[in-house]
């Protein structure tokens, strides 16, 4: 309603201004009366605009108050909901519960460890393991010896010992080769 009144007064001010300008040189009394009506309409227009501004501020204040009220109501409801959720629970209760959980977790770990330690008749004999380990070491040593350079007989010694040393080296080589063949045969069988 105030907006309609504002538009009407604006049109009246414009109309009275046009009448005053039209009659300023021909009829000063009509021009003067038109200016008086224009001033009165301008004063009414200012009052209407002030009222509109006041109402807009009131609307803004009401909207803000409504928003504040709704925010406060939601916060209050949330506080009550949290209170209901935490009803009967304090920090001591939470700590006790957490301690119980830790204890149960430790028990579960102990049970798991005990289950994994159970032997279902699949015991491994330590002597067998040691024997297998020795065999592996010997195999590795044999492989190194096979790849080692052979010392020439001429470098073994000079003089009368030369023949004995050569025979000893030859005998050792034959023994090693025989043992190597024996180990290879055993490995192929077993």
CATH number of the domain to which 74 belongs: 1.10.287
Taking residues 135-162, report their average pLDDT: 69
- Residue range of the domain that includes 133: 126-189
**Where are the alpha helices (H) located in the chain, listed in sequence order?**
2-23, 28-85, 91-117, 126-147, 160-189
pLDDT tens digits, 107-148: 999 888 888 776 555 566 788 878 888 888 898 888 888 876
149 DSSP assignment: P
Residue 88 or residue 51, greater confidence? 51
- Res 20 pLDDT > 60: yes
The answer on 21 and 78 residing in a single domain is: yes
Q: Are residue 8 and residue 77 in the same domain, yes or no?
A: yes
The mean pLDDT of the chain is: 83
Task: Return the higher-pLDDT residue of 128 and 26.
Answer: 26
Q: Is the pLDDT of residue 163 over 80?
A: no
Q: Note the pLDDT of residue 7.
A: 93
pLDDT band, very low/low/confident/very high, at 186 (cuts 50, 70, 90): confident
pLDDT for the residue numbered 101: 93
Place of tokens 């070491």: 137
pLDDT of residue 158: 54
How far is 21 from 30, CA to CA, in rounded Å? 10
Each residue's pLDDT tens digit, 32-72 = 999 999 999 999 999 999 999 999 999 999 999 999 999 99
End residue of a domain, out of 34, 67, 85:
85
Burial class (CB in 10 A: 0-12, 13-18, 19+), 41: buried
Residue at 101 is within a domain: no
CA–CA separation, 1 vs 5, rounded Å?
A: 6
Q: Which of 35, 61, 85 is the last residue of a domain?
A: 85
Note the Cα 149 to chain centre separation in Å. Answer: 62
Residue 26 is assigned to a structural domain of this protein:
yes
Section 157-173 average pLDDT: 61
Query: What's the predicted TM-score (pTM) here?
Result: 0.40
Do the beta carbons of residue 34 and residue 20 sit within 8 Å?
Answer: yes
Q: How many Å apart are CA 88 and CA 93, to the nearest integer?
A: 8
User: Based on the structure, what is the number of domains in the chain?
Assistant: 2
């Amino acid at each position: 309603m105030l907006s309609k009144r504002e538009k009407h007064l604006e049109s009246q001010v414009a109309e009275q201004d046009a009448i005053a300008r039209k009659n300023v040189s021909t009829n000063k009394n009509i021009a003067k009366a038109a200016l008086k009506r224009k001033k009165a309409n301008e004063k009414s227009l200012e009052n209407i605009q002030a009222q509109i501004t006041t109402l807009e501020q009131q609307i803004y204040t009401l909207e803000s108050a409504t928003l504040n009220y709704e925010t406060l109501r939601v916060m209050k409801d949330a506080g009550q909901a949290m209170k209901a959720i935490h009803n009967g629970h304090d920090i001591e209760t939470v700590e006790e519960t957490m301690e119980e959980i830790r204890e149960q977790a430790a028990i579960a770990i102990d049970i798991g460890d005990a289950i994994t330690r159970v032997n279902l008749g699949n015991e491994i004999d330590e002597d067998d393991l040691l024997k297998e380990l020795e065999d592996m070491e010997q195999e590795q040593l044999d492989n190194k010896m096979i790849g080692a350079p052979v010392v020439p007989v001429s470098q073994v010694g000079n003089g009368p010992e030369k023949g004995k040393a050569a025979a000893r080296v030859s005998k050792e080589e034959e023994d090693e080769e025989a043992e190597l063949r024996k180990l290879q045969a055993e490995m192929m069988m077993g």
